[in-house]
Amino acid sequence: MDKSNKHSASEDTLGKLHGLVSTVYTRRLEHMIELLEAGADADAVVDVRALQAAGKWVESNGIGCAPMEDDAQSELKSRLDKIRSAQKGKVVDFVKEG
pLDDT at 1: 44
Q: Is residue 57 part of a domain?
A: yes
Domain that holds residue 18: 11-64
Residue 52 burial (10 A CB sphere; 0-12, 13-18, 19+): exposed
Q: What is the pTM of this model?
A: 0.53
**Residue with more model confidence, 86 or 17:** 17
Q: Is residue 35 part of a domain?
A: yes
Q: Is residue 72 part of a domain?
A: no
Q: Is residue 77 part of a domain?
A: no
The percentage of residues in the chain with a pLDDT greater than 90, rounded to a whole number, is 15
pLDDT digits (tens, 9 = 90+) for 18-32: 889 989 999 999 999
Q: Give the Cα separation of 15 and 18 in Å (integer).
A: 5
| DSSP SS3 for 23 | helix
When divided into structural domains, the chain yields a total of 1
Q: Is residue 96 part of a domain?
A: no
- Please report, in angstroms and rounded to a whole number, the separation of the first and last CA atoms in the chain: 56
Cite the DSSP H helix spans in the chain.
Answer: 11-37, 42-45, 48-60, 75-87
Q: Is residue 94 part of a domain?
A: no
Distances (CA, A) of 87 to 10, 33, 74, 92: 50, 34, 20, 10
pLDDT digits (tens, 9 = 90+) for 29-63: 999 999 989 998 888 888 889 889 988 888 887 76
